[in-house]
Amino acid sequence: MEEIWIEKYRPTNLSEVVGQSTVTTRLKNYVKERSMPHLLFAGPPGIGKTTSALALARELFGDLWKHNLHELNASDERGIDVVRGKIKEFARTAPLGEDGFKIIFLDEADALTSAAQAALRRTMEKYSRTCRFVMSCNFSSKIIEPIQSRCAVFRFRPIKSEDLEKYLKFVAANQKLTVSKEAYESLTYLAQGDLRRAINGLQMAAAAKTDITPDVVYQAVAAARPEEVKEALQMSLEGDFSGARERLDTLQITYGLAGEDVLRQMHRSVRDLEIPDNIKVQMIEKLAETDFRLSEGANSRIQIEAVVANFTVLGRHIQKE
């Protein structure tokens, strides 16, 4: 069975990491100097944090990288016992080869408990001669300040659309796929800077057809076209409550979208509407309120209809103006 594409096409060196040239340039300097401090990688998911950490280890240690890198996913093992046991045990042993240190890579470090993070502070200092820590997280605010102050912090940014498209073309060429320009635009629109999501979307579409069009993409990833959602919003603002409600119902049935998914796509489409900013502000405020209600367990169908009804009322203010 073929390997998942996000693993099959994962970059193996820092030069291949997509869309993070500022970060990789600094990391290459550490490789050149054969020395580095503790590192903290922060940013949204799917933008190259884990890949950069593994590529850094490969370039530092060469063939011995697997022996000198200890990878832990903090979301699975996040208690204080892990810090006192596995991490401490690995940190105190000498590295293989000529390099003076090993690397402990803590993926999703923002899932570590407060007690585990507190215990980690002393371990980072005590074994700094033989071990360096590389931590990745989605939210750096969840990492306690004492640990942040011990690390060089790298901020990863969402990947630009042109970089996403370039890498998708590389994957498509290797997989011998025919992908239209509009399909690439659809994949980058849905990915929102997340390369992992973009590659997964391409693989799902390729499972349906080797000749990939926007229709294939949206059906495969179960997302509505932006123009369809935008049309539903415009109908509600023009006073056609029943038409807008039916259009959103159809989207949920056709694509199998959850209420939260519909709200997210509505939120993205609001920005593209040609209406006064004060109306946009009220629409986004209503979407935020509904998003909170859904997170608390409210009925998604009723809440989405309430949003459409609210937008219909707002549309009357636009017509009066």
Which tokens in the block code for residue 221?
Answer: 């990833």
What's 64's DSSP letter? G
Cα–Cα dist 49/38, whole Å: 15
Helix (H) or strand (E) segment spanning residue 133: strand 131-137
Which tokens in the block code for residue 81?
Answer: 């016992």
What's 109's DSSP letter? G
Annotated binding site: 43-50
List strands edge to edge, sheet with 69-73.
Answer: 69-73, 102-107, 131-137, 38-42, 151-155
Cα–Cα dist 16/228, whole Å: 37
Cα–Cα dist 61/99, whole Å: 7
25 Cβ neighbours under 8 A, 6+ residues apart: none
Annotated binding site for ATP: 43-50
